[in-house]
Structure 1
């Protein structure tokens, strides 16, 4: 077994019984989507458990239902849509509450669905950041995907725009990153 990017054995990048290969591309947008284009809206709270590769997620649906899950992401270093391996476990409210007691860095966002795109509009210190994300089942799908209309830049290969990096980014740093792409949040 040889090691691939990031020290992850290459054979582990194949879909398996528990983990699947995560393929996604991310794009910076200048602002939230037009309400007329939105097909679904969800509030997301992500808790990145300190010292782990684990993320605890609460997805709140408009009707009051919540989806709770624990996710492990094993990243690979290198360019392109293949981000690494992802494993999800769905949780009960009691399981979520127990895990939510662990130390974590937290971010919140609203996710808008627009066809094959999820557009995240961030809150708190990340306000002003709008990221569109598309996920793919195969490499060719990812390569042939056209960036969304109004896209400022593709940031798939910019590790600063991953959840694990954003959750710990101080606001002045985020503003600097956005400025590098010609974005300046209103009121800043």
Structure 2
């Protein structure tokens, strides 16, 4: 069970000098981006380590390069673009493989860079979910951002559309959430 600060119940979370504030806004899209608008594509596999706030990520580029990292996200209990504190540690393949042996819930997606957005197209039981995010360095940038027309609805403050929640979401739950916003994926 988690507490209001996003930590495990009974644990206190203290920001450290290595954590940075994460500012992002999230939006649902009805469709994946047009291939001609994509500047970079990656296949991402996230492993949410059970009982923790830790996420193990493997991001593979089409040219064979890949990035391995361990991330801790500590949410803050306030609405808006400030999602909380984020700390990333980049890993060697051996470090990644060791951590990948821990129990985890798995989530996979393709991420397309379509400036100013990063667009995630999910697969598996989350097929049909297209979630875009824009990241910011200041609160002012986040507040003044005007989302592109293809953004159906903003879900920044809807915890259902966070990776930590989506990794536990059933197909039926997802289809219900999307229908609330008028999105009906093909084949569902």
Q: TM-score, normalised by structure 1?
A: 0.92
Q: Which runs of 4+ in 1 moved over 3 A?
A: 7-12
For the aligned residues, what is the CA RMSD? Answer: 1.7
Distance 2:72 2:121 in 1: 23
Shift in Å at residue 151 of structure 1?
1.1
Q: Deviations over 1:27-72 (max 9, x none)?
A: 0000100111110100000000000000000000111111000000
Distance 2:22 2:113 in 1: 19
Which residue number corresponds to residue 184 of structure 1?
Answer: 184
2:18 counterpart SS class: coil
Shift in Å at residue 116 of structure 1?
2.2
Which residue number corresponds to residue 160 of structure 1?
Answer: 160
Matched, 1:60 2:55: no
Q: Structure 1: 5+ residue runs without aligned partners?
A: none
Which residue number corresponds to residue 119 of structure 1?
Answer: 119
Shift in Å at residue 100 of structure 1?
0.2
Q: Deviations over 1:6-37 (max 9, x none)?
A: 3899984xxx6300000000000001001111
Aligned positions, number: 181
Distance 2:14 2:100 in 1: 33
Distance 1:108 1:118 in 2: 15
Shift in Å at residue 149 of structure 1?
1.8
Q: TM-score, normalised by structure 2?
A: 0.92
Q: Structure 2: 5+ residue runs without aligned partners?
A: none
Which residue number corresponds to residue 6 of structure 1?
Answer: 5
Distance 2:13 2:174 in 1: 33
